[in-house]
């Protein structure tokens, strides 16, 4: 068997993200991914035995990379608000730079394809955010509500801000970022 080619793997990943972004997870076919990636459908099966394996592997890859970038923006020595801001800004940058990949992760996470392994991975990778929210609540800086509500505030404002910037409804500048983060923070703070 020929060794796997990293460039083909990347082409398959990008094709999958684009297809999901354009048509949704449910309409996704391996033939469409192969065509978009510029490989034969049989080549796809060298990398992934089936659609489930493809989606699982790409989610794990995308989620791990995204969390690594977000945590790279975090500095434990900073106050809660500053840390939350850095994470928010990193999330927005990711959303603007890789919208297809972000949509893929969202659709996968809320689909029947979400594997137990990746559900556990998501929980493990979000532990830093959960700890940050807990610290903010312990310091009486954040509302004493369930962590998912704080995640909704953070992710929702990032998603909508990115959408408005991409559609040119808002300028892509520091003033927009500052205003959007302050709205998010005001919703979360105690």
**Same domain, yes or no: 29 and 107:** no
CATH code: domain of residue 40 = 1.10.10.60
**Same domain, yes or no: 29 and 7:** yes
CATH code: domain of residue 105 = 1.10.357.10
Strand partners, 189: 142
**Same domain, yes or no: 116 and 96:** yes
**Same domain, yes or no: 6 and 59:** no
Domain count, the chain: 2
- Are 99 and 21 a contacting pair, CB within 8 Å? yes
**Same domain, yes or no: 68 and 160:** yes
Which residue from 89, 185, 93, 181 is spatially nearest to 133, judged by alpha carbons? Answer: 185
Which residue from 92, 96, 99, 81 is spatially nearest to 177, judged by alpha carbons? Answer: 92
pLDDT at residue 1, as a whole number: 45
How many CB atoms within 10 Å of residue 138? 11
**Same domain, yes or no: 107 and 184:** yes
**Same domain, yes or no: 70 and 162:** yes
**Same domain, yes or no: 145 and 77:** yes
In this structure, the dihedral spanned by the alpha carbons of residues 104, 110, 111 and 116, taken in order and rounded to 10 degrees, is 100
CA dist 81 → 38, 85, 150 (Å): 45, 6, 13
Per-residue pLDDT in tens (0 to 9) along the chain, 190 residues: 455 788 999 999 999 999 999 999 988 999 999 999 999 999 999 999 999 999 999 999 999 999 888 887 778 889 999 999 999 999 999 999 999 999 999 999 999 999 999 999 888 888 889 999 999 999 999 999 999 999 999 999 999 999 999 999 999 999 999 999 999 999 999 9
**Same domain, yes or no: 34 and 78:** no
In this structure, the dihedral spanned by the alpha carbons of residues 29, 99, 117 and 7, taken in order and rounded to 10 degrees, is 70
**Same domain, yes or no: 3 and 42:** yes
How many CB atoms within 10 Å of residue 56? 19
In the structure encoding, which two tokens stand for residue 168, read together? 């040119």
Domain boundaries, position 91: 55-188
């Amino acid at each position: 068997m020929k060794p796997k080619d990293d460039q083909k793997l990347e082409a398959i990943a990008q094709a999958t993200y684009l297809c999901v972004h354009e048509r949704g997870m449910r309409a996704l076919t391996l033939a469409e991914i192969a065509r978009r990636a510029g490989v034969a459908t049989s080549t796809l099966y060298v990398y992934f035995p089936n659609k489930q394996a493809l989606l699982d592997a790409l989610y794990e890859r995308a989620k791990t990379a995204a969390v690594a970038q977000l945590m790279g923006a975090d500095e434990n020595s900073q106050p809660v608000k500053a840390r939350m801001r850095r994470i928010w800004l990193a999330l927005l940058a990711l959303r603007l730079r890789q919208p297809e990949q972000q949509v893929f992760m969202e659709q996968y996470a809320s689909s029947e394809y979400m594997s137990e392994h990746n559900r556990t991975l998501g929980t493990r990778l979000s532990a830093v955010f959960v700890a940050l929210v807990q610290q903010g609540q312990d310091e009486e800086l954040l509302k004493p509500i369930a962590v998912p509500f704080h995640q909704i505030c953070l992710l929702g404002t990032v998603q909508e801000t990115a959408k408005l910037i991409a559609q040119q409804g808002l300028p892509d500048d520091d003033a927009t970022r500052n205003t959007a983060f302050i709205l998010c923070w005001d919703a979360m703070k105690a």
